[in-house]
A and B are shown apart, each in its own frame.
Chain A
Amino acid sequence: MADISNTGVNFVPTEPRPAPASIRPGPMTWMKERLFNTWYNTLFTLVAIYVLATSVPSLIDWFFTSALWSDAPADACDAVTGACWAFVYEKWRFILFGTYPFEQQWRPGGAVIIFLGMVIISCFKPMWNKSLLVIWPVGLIICWILLAGGIFGLDSVPNNLWGGLPITLMLAVIGCGLAFPVSIALALGRRSKMPIIKAFCVGYIELIRGVPLITVLFMASVMFPLFMPEGITIDKLLRAQVAIIMFAAAYLAEVVRGGLQAIPKGQYEAADAMGLSYWQAMTFIILPQALKITIPPQVNTFIGMFKDTSLVLIVGIFDLMFTMRVAINDLEWRAFYIEGMVFVAILYFLFCFSMSKYSQWLEHELHRGHKR
C-alpha cells in the first residue's frame, strides 16, 4: 500500500493555518461573493447602485433637506421644493384625535398611552399570567372613562365626536379580544363529532371568510337596523365593532383549529386515559398547548385586522384613515396630501412592523422552548 504516512505515536495536531488572503472573510471577499460573484450579479449590482444613487438622494432631499420642518402657514410651503411638514404641525392633533374637543384631547391621548402600555406589557412572556386578566379590564375601563367622561368631573363627550387613533386601536384590539373566545368555541365546534354543531361552525367560518370585510360592514350598517325591533337603535360605532368581532372570529377560529390539529394525538389519548372529561381535557391539556403555539399566527391575524379596520371609513366611522382624508381635503392644505398620507403610513407601518417582528421573535422563542 503506497504512501501511508502515519503520524508518530503522539498525535500533535498541526497548528491551523490562517486561510490565504484570497479566501479570507473580509470586505473584499465579501464584495466578491455577495455583489460580483457572477456576471449577471455584477450587472444587477451595477443597476441597483445606479437606481439607489439616483433615487435615494432626491428622496432624502424631499424628506429632510429641502423640507419645511417648522410650524408655518400653508402658503409658506409654496416656496419649498421638499416636503411641507408644516401640514403635520397643523393637522396632527386632528389626524390623531379627530373632532374630539380640542382642549380635552389630553384624554384620548392618555387613553392611547395607557392602551399601548397594556399592549407592550402583554408582550413580555413573564407577564403571561392571571395579572393580565386584571390589568386589561381595569385599563380598558380607565380608557373608557377618559374617552367618554361624565364622571370624576370629566365632561361627557359623546362617541360621535371620537375619532382618529383611539378609534382605530379600539376597533382592532377590542375586536380581536372579544373575537378570541368566540373563535375558540368555533374551532372546537368545527372539530366536534356532533354533525349539527360542526355544520353550524363550518358554515359560519366559511361564510365569513368567503366574503370581503366591506360586505360584513355593510351588513352591520344597513341590515342591522332592519333586524332590530322597532324603536331600538344601535350606535353606528358599536355596529362596526360587532362586524369586526364577527369577522375576526372566523379568521382566528382557523388559526386556533390549526393549533388544535398540531397537538399530537397522544395528548388527547393521555387525557382520555387519565379519565378527564372533554371539557377538562380541553381546559387543562389541549387548549393551553394549542393556544400557545398559535400565538405567532394570532399576532399576524391581529396585524391584518389592524390594517383592515381602515375599511370602516367606507361606512362613515371616523378612524385614523378617515381623519387623514378629512385633513388632506382641507382646501388650504390640499396640495400636501402626500405629506398627510406619508405621516399616516408611517404610523401604520410602525405598529404593524413592530408587531410582525415581535411575532417572528416569539415564534423563534416558543420554538426554542419546545426543543428544550
Chain B
Amino acid sequence: MTDHAHSGLPTPPTPTVKKPPSTSIFYSEKFRSILYQVLLIAVVITLGIFLVSNTLANLAARGIQSGFGFLDVRAGFDIGEAMIAYTNDDSYGRALVVGILNTVKVAFFGIILATIVGVIMGIARLSSNFLISKFASAYVEILRNIPLLLHLFFIYGLLINILPRPRDSWNLLPGVFLSNRGLKYPVMADNPIWIWVAIAMLVGAIGAYFLARRADKIQADTGVRPKTLLPSLGLIFGFGAVVWLIGGAPLSVNAPELRGFNFQGGQSLSPEFLALLLGLTIYTSAFIAEIVRSGIQAVNYGQTEAAKAVGLNAGNTLRLIVLPQALRVIIPPITSQYLNLTKNSSLAIAIGYPDLVSVGNTALNQSGQAIEIIAVFMTVYLTLSLSTSLFMNWYNGRIALTER
C-alpha cells in the first residue's frame, strides 16, 4: 500500500460536506400527492354544492317534487308494444319496466343476428373467392361509414312506404304476412303441453351434454371418439316428440287472419321493431366482420403449418388450433360491440320504438322529473355495461396466455 502523498498521484480534494437538499415539506412527494387530492375533492364538493343548490332552487321555482315517488303515479300514456301487460292506467314505474324489457328484447335478438351476419361476412372477407371477398369488403366499408341513425330512417322509411297495406300483404310463407303494419306469423295455440315439450327438450339437451362428456371419456380411454351428433339430436327432439305425443299431439295453430283492415290472431313484430332490429344488425355486423377478420388473421400462419406438419386435417386444425387462438383476440372487442349495440338501441326514439329511452322521454315530458329519469337511464345502462365488463375481465383473466 502506498500513501497518496508518495505515489505521485494528485491528492484527492477533501470532500466537503454538501448541504442536504431542502427538506421543506413542500418538496415531499407524499405531501404533494395529498395536496393534489385534497384540491380535487374541494373542487368536486364546491361544484357539487353549487349545482345541487341551483337545482333545488330551480325545482322549487317550478314546483317539481324531487324523488322517486312519481314512479307510482298513473302514467296516462299508451305504449305501442309491451312484453308484459300494460295500459295507460299503469304507473310510470311499470311503463319504464316495459321500456327496459323492450330494450332487452331488441338488444338480445340484435346481438344474435349481428353475430351471425358479422361472422359470415368476416370469414367471407378472407375467402379465396375474389367475388365473395370483394362483396364482403363493400358490405363492411359502406355500412359502417354511414351513421346508424340514417340506416334506421332508411329502413323504417322503406318498411312503411314500400310494403303494401295489410289487405295486400306479402304472403312470405303459409301463415306469414309482411305488410306496412309489420310481420305477422302463426304460433301454436295456447296449450299447457307446449311448456312440457320445452322442458322435455331441455332435459334432452342436458342428456346430449352428458353424451358429449361420455364421448370425451371414451376417446381418452380408447382413442376413438364415438359419433355424437345424431344421438344428441335424437335425444333433444325425441324427448320433445314423446311428450308431445303423450299430451295428445295438439296441432291447432293460432294463425293471423285478415279481418277488415288489419290482421287478427297470431303474433306480430311491429315495423318499428323490425327497422330497429335490422338497422342494429346491419350496422353492428359490419364492425363484427372486421373484428372476426382481424382475429383470424392474427393467428400466425406458422400455427397452421405446424398443425399440418403433425398431420392434423383441415377441420381439426381449425377447431383445435386456429379458433381457440382467434377467439382470444376476437371476444373482448366483440363484447364491446355488443355493448355498443345495446346502447345504440336507444336510437329507437327516432323511429318510435318504445325502448327505455323512448318511454322515459315521454315520462320526462309529462312529469318533469328530469333528474330521476335520467338517473334511471344511467343506472340501467351502467348496470348492463359494468356487469358485462366484470364478466369480460374475469373471462380475459381465465384465457390469457401464460407467458414468461
Direct chain A–B contact by Cβ atoms under 8 Å: yes
Please report A residues at the B interface, Cβ cutoff 8 Å.
Answer: 33-35, 37, 41, 44-45, 48-49, 52, 193-197, 200, 206-207, 209-215, 218-219, 222-223, 225-230, 303, 307-308, 310-311, 313-314, 321, 325, 337-338, 341, 344-345, 348-349, 352-353, 356
Could you tell me the distance between the alpha carbons of A308 and B161 in the complex, rounded to whole angstroms? Answer: 26
- Are A352's CB and B146's CB within 8 A? yes
Contact indicator B142/A349 (Cβ below 8 Å): yes
Within 8 Å CB of B205, what residues of A? Answer: none
A353 cross-chain contacts in B, Cβ below 8 A: 141, 145
Contacts of A52 in B (CB 8 A): 131
Q: Is B222 an interface residue (CB 8 A)?
A: no
Contact partner, A337, options B37, B61, B157, B350, Cβ 8 Å: B157
A176 → B minimal CB distance (Å): 16
Q: For A219, give the chain B residue with the smallest CB separation.
A: B374
Residues 331-375 of B, flagged 1 when their CB comes within 8 A of A and 0 if not, give 000000000000110110110000001000100100000110010
Assuming A310-B147, A314-B350, is B364 touching A211 (CB within 8 A)? no
* Pairs A-B, 8 closest by C-beta atoms: A210-B385, A352-B145, A212-B343, A307-B147, A196-B37, A34-B130, A212-B346, A222-B370
Q: Are A223 and B157 in contact (CB under 8 A)?
A: no
Interface string of B234-270 (1 = CB under 8 A from A): 0000000000000000000000000000000000000
A344 pairs with B378, CB closer than 8 A: no
Q: In the complex, are the beta carbons of A223 and B54 less than 8 A apart?
A: no
Contact A227 B51 (CB under 8 A): yes
Q: How far is the CA of A231 from the CA of B107 in the complex (A)?
A: 42
Whether A222 contacts B374 in the complex (CB less than 8 A), given A227-B54, A310-B147, comes out as yes
Contact A197 B37 (CB under 8 A): yes
Residue contact B381 to A215, C-beta cutoff 8 Å: yes
Whole-angstrom distance between the Cβ of B144 and the nearest chain A Cβ? 8
A214-B55 in contact given A49-B131, A223-B371 (Cβ < 8 Å)? no
Is B41 positioned at the interface, with any CB of A under 8 Å from its CB? yes
Q: Do B371 and A214 touch (CB < 8 A)? A: no
* B374–A215 touching, CB < 8 Å: yes
* Smallest CB separation, A62 vs chain B (Å): 13
Kindly provide the distance from the CB of B343 to the nearest chain A CB, expressed in whole angstroms. 4
Interface residues in B266-300 (C-beta closer than 8 Å to A): none
Q: Which of B131, B158, B377 contacts A218 (CB 8 A)?
A: B377
Given contacts A196-B41, A211-B381, A353-B141, contact A226 B58 (CB under 8 A): yes
CB within 8 Å of A: which residues of B?
A: 33, 36-37, 40-41, 44, 51, 54-55, 57-59, 61, 127-132, 135, 141-142, 145-150, 153-154, 157-158, 161, 343-344, 346-347, 349-350, 357, 361, 364, 370-371, 374, 377-378, 381-382, 384-386, 389
Given contacts A41-B127, A341-B153, 14 further A-B contacts (CB under 8 A): A33-B128, A35-B130, A45-B131, A48-B135, A196-B40, A210-B386, A218-B364, A223-B374, A227-B55, A337-B157, A337-B161, A338-B157, A341-B154, A341-B157
Q: State how many angstroms separate the Cβ of A349 from the closest Cβ of chain B.
A: 5
A interface, over-half SS: helix
Task: State whether A226 and B55 are in contact (beta carbons under 8 Å apart), knowing that A193-B33, A218-B361, A356-B145 are contacts in the complex.
Answer: yes
- A35 proximity list for chain B (CB < 8 A): 129-131
- For A348, list chain B residues within 8 Å (CB): 145-147, 150
Closest residue on chain A to residue B381 by CB atoms = A211
Q: State A171–B156 Cα separation when bound (angstroms).
A: 26
Contacts of A44 in B (CB 8 A): 127, 129, 131-132
Residue of B nearest to A325 (CB): B153
Chain B residues, Cβ within 8 Å of A307: 145-148
Asked if B381 and A311 make an inter-chain contact with CB atoms under 8 angstroms apart, the answer reads no
Instruction: Give bound CA distance, A244 to B381, whole Å.
Output: 18
What are 25 A-B interface contacts by the 8 Å CB criterion?
A33-B128, A34-B128, A35-B131, A44-B127, A44-B132, A48-B129, A193-B33, A194-B36, A196-B37, A197-B37, A210-B384, A212-B343, A212-B346, A212-B357, A212-B381, A214-B357, A215-B346, A218-B361, A226-B371, A229-B57, A230-B54, A321-B150, A345-B154, A348-B150, A349-B142
Kindly list chain B residues whose C-beta atoms are within 8 Å of the C-beta of A207: 378, 382
Interchain nearest-CB distance for B282 vs A (Å): 13
Of the candidates A215, A223, A344, A345, which one forms a contact with B357 in the assembled complex, judged by CB atoms under 8 Å apart? A215
Residues of A near B343 (CB, < 8 A) are 211-213
Q: Which residues of A contact B357 (CB under 8 A)?
A: 212, 214-215, 218
Task: Give the complex CA separation of A337 and B158 in angstroms.
Answer: 9
Is there contact, CB below 8 Å, between B147 and A308? yes
Whole-angstrom distance between the alpha carbons of A233 and B127 in the complex? 57
Chain A residues contacting B145 (CB-CB under 8 Å) are 303, 307, 348-349, 352-353, 356
Contact A310 B129 (CB under 8 A): no
How many whole Å from B339's CB to the nearest CB in chain A? 8
Q: How far is the CA of A229 from the CA of B153 in the complex (A)?
A: 38
A357 to chain B minimum Cβ distance, whole angstroms, is 9
Is A310's CB under 8 angstroms from B150's CB? yes
Alpha-carbon distance between A44 and B357 when the two chains are bound, in angstroms: 43
Inter-chain contacts of A214 with B (CB < 8 A): 346-347, 349, 357
**A212-B150 contact in complex given A37-B128, A352-B145, C-beta closer than 8 Å:** no
Contacts of A226 in B (CB 8 A): 54-55, 58-59, 370-371
Q: Which residues of B contact A311 (CB under 8 A)?
A: 149, 347
Query: Do B131 and A197 have beta carbons less than 8 Å apart?
Result: no
Chain A residue at minimum C-beta to C-beta distance from B350: A314
Closest-by-CB residue of B relative to A210 is B385
Cross-chain contact B129 with A41 (CB below 8 angstroms): yes
Q: Which residues of A contact B370 (CB under 8 A)?
A: 218, 222-223, 226
Contact A321 B149 (CB under 8 A): yes
Please name all residues of chain B whose beta carbon is closer than 8 Å to the beta carbon of A218 when the two chains form the complex: 357, 361, 364, 370, 374, 377
A314 neighbours in B (Cβ, 8 Å)? 349-350
Smallest Cβ-Cβ distance to B56: which chain A residue: A226
Return the chain A residue nearest B141 by Cβ.
Answer: A353
* Least CB distance, B392 to chain A, in whole angstroms: 13
Q: Given that A211-B378, A321-B147 are contacting pairs, would A313 and B129 also be in contact in the complex, using a CB cutoff of 8 Å?
A: no
Q: Give the nearest-CB partner of B342 in chain A.
A: A212
Of all chain A residues, which has the CB nearest B345? A212
A229 to chain B, nearest CB (A): 5
Q: How far is the CA of A213 from the CA of B357 in the complex (A)?
A: 11
CA gap between A223 and B141 in the complex, in Å:
38
- The residue of chain A having its C-beta at the shortest distance from the C-beta of B151 within the complex is A345
Chain B nearest CB from A95 CB (Å) reads 13
Shortest C-beta distance, B216 to chain A (Å), equals 31
B157: A residues at CB distance < 8 A = 337-338, 341
| Contact yes or no, B146 A349, CB < 8 A | yes
Question: Which residues on the B side are within 8 Å of A310 (C-beta)?
Answer: 147, 149-150
What chain B residues lie within 8 Å of A225 (beta carbons)? 58
- Could you say which of B40, B61, B135 has the most chain A C-beta atoms within 10 Å of its C-beta? B40
Q: A226-B54, A321-B147 are in contact. Are A215 and B131 (CB under 8 A)?
A: no
Residue of B nearest to A354 (CB): B145
Contact B371 A200 (CB under 8 A): no
Q: Looking at the assembled complex, report how far the CB atom of A224 sits from the nearest CB atom of chain B, in whole angstroms.
A: 10
- A223–B350 Cα gap in the complex (Å)? 21
